[in-house]
Amino acid sequence: AQSVTQLDSQVPVFEEAPVELRCNYSSSVSVYLFWYVQYPNQGLQLLLKYLSGSTLVESINGFEAEFNKSQTSFHLRKPSVHISDTAEYFCAVSPFSGGYNKLIFGAGTRLAVHP
């Protein structure tokens, strides 16, 4: 079975400051890794994903995440946040074992960017 732990339920930060949202996972098989974002009063949308290849993946709005297999982590970072980044961020994993791809989410981290 897989599980996902997001270590911080809330992260307050000032605008233009760097931020890191932590995600650790547990799995007995290899996994795909995802970060989803939920802006206020909106649906979930994919921010970035790691499927294979380079362990550093980037989104179009400046976020990046690095897959660290030895530490079973997939932390999300941004060097300089904007007010518009205020949202709930969810880390998720899916095992790649044949055709079985159950998607399991962490509890979420609420990022609040203050002016």
The residues that touch another protein, with contacts defined as CB under 8 A, are 32, 34, 36, 43-46, 49, 51, 90, 94, 96, 99-108
> Of the two residues 15 and 32, which places its CB atom closer to another protein in the complex?
32
* Maximum Cα–Cα distance across the chain: 47
Considering the complex, what minimum distance in angstroms separates the CB of residue 99 from another protein?
A: 6
Considering the complex, what minimum distance in angstroms separates the CB of residue 79 from another protein?
A: 25
**How buried is 60 (Cβ within 10 angstroms: 0-12 exposed, 13-18 middle, 19+ buried)?**
exposed
> Of the two residues 54 and 70, which places its CB atom closer to another protein in the complex?
54
- Answer whether 2's CB lies under 8 Å from 10's CB: no
Phi, psi of 71, rounded to the nearest 5 degrees: -100, 5
Considering the complex, what minimum distance in angstroms separates the CB of residue 60 from another protein?
A: 14
Considering the complex, what minimum distance in angstroms separates the CB of residue 80 from another protein?
A: 27
- Answer whether 37's CB lies under 8 Å from 56's CB: no
> Of the two residues 103 and 112, which places its CB atom closer to another protein in the complex?
103
> Of the two residues 9 and 70, which places its CB atom closer to another protein in the complex?
9
